[in-house]
Amino acid sequence: MYRVKKQVGCSKELQCNRENKVTIAVLDTGVARHPDLEERILDFYDFVDGKKNAYDDSGHGTHVCGIACGNGRISEGRYCGMAPQAGLVVGKVLDKKGDGELVSMLRGIDWVIENRKKWNIRILNVSVGVGQLMNELKEKMLREKLEEAWKEGILVVCAAGNNGPECGTLSDIGNSPRLITVGCHDGEYFKDKANRCASYSGRGGKFATFRKPDIVAPGTEIISCNAACHKNRAGYSNAYISKSGTSMATPIVSGALALLLQKYPSYDNETAKRKLLYSATDLQEPWYQQGWGMVNVERMLE
């Protein structure tokens, strides 16, 4: 995350707005009570097994949450997330293998909508790839439910999926013109690495009438919170772990949007989306790969 924040222009000074509290909702495999996250967790609901206390038996959701808004406590700030002042509302909709039922996801979205005013939820992060839930009809139902959340004033940020690099390989929910779809690109980092995230990030259609993915962010070997973190006599062990994929790129954008809405709380979805896209750094890649370009926090907050 230290490297990522330098890449996307997210300085410590830009992260320090404490006046306007914004909450990010995450629908994933859950969240562990990691020391970097426990103060961020405002609410948790388990749509898989019905457990009451926050947990993550996969690790994926905890890693995503750490990228979005971990405070970097154990690492003395080095692995701090994008928006360390933001709150977290987490729904567990995927099991320990990262699989889930459509009904759990739909219930999770309804739960986020119902609680949006209670917790000031302005952003919903969906790092769920195609094939984890899905057939074509189910994806259509999910996309429509996510668009309902958007209409209720929640910025929906979803992963482009990891089925690239061919054109037309986006997750179907990512093909919505309204939702913000995040692909993966690490800029100059890992450009010679065979399995870098950009090499399998989902692509939009070559002749599509709108740019998809909307934007890209780093997603290769991102170090963030590990659900297996535990305390011992020397302090903490296994506090952080490296993961790659568009699932990791997505909360970078969610966290960036939280910073934007902390600074400009009156922005509606369309205004926030335009600020995000129009301030992006052009990577000189085709539209169907980079969308508007790499998220640029400093420029977005000007």
Residue type, 222: I
Q: What angle do CA 17, 84, 231 make, to 5 degrees?
A: 150
pLDDT of residue 46: 98
Total-model pTM: 0.95
Residue type, 243: K
Burial call 11-39: b when 16+ CB within 10 Å, e when fewer: eeebbebeeebbbbbbbbbbbbebbbbee
Enter the tokens of residue 298: 């400093």
Question: What does the DSSP 8-state code read for residue 164?
Answer: -
Residue 276's closest CA among 262, 251, 290, 293?
293
Enter the tokens of residue 273: 């989306």
Pairwise CA distance, residues 153 & 270, whole Å: 9
pLDDT of residue 131: 47
Neighbouring CB atoms inside 10 A of 298's CB total: 13
Enter the tokens of residue 140: 């259509």
H or E segment and range at residue 63:
helix 60-69
- How many CA within 13 A on the CB side of residue 59? 14
For the question of residue 46 being annotated catalytic, the response is no
For the question of residue 28 being annotated catalytic, the response is yes
For the question of residue 230 being annotated catalytic, the response is no
Mean pLDDT by 10 residues, the chain (302 residues): 93 82 96 95 97 96 98 94 96 92 93 98 86 64 93 97 90 87 92 86 88 96 95 88 96 98 96 98 94 97 92
> How would you classify residue 237: left for phi > 0, otherwise alpha for psi between -120 and 50, otherwise beta?
beta
- How many CA within 13 A on the CB side of residue 27? 31
**Domain coordinates in residue numbering, the chain:** 2-300
pLDDT of residue 129: 56
pLDDT of residue 134: 53
Catalytic one of 56, 58, 60, 186: 60
Measured in residues, the chain has a length of 302
pLDDT of residue 130: 42
- Which fold is adopted by the domain 2-300? Rossmann fold (3.40.50)
Catalytic one of 28, 36, 56, 214: 28
H or E segment and range at residue 3:
helix 2-7
Catalytic one of 127, 247, 254, 279: 247
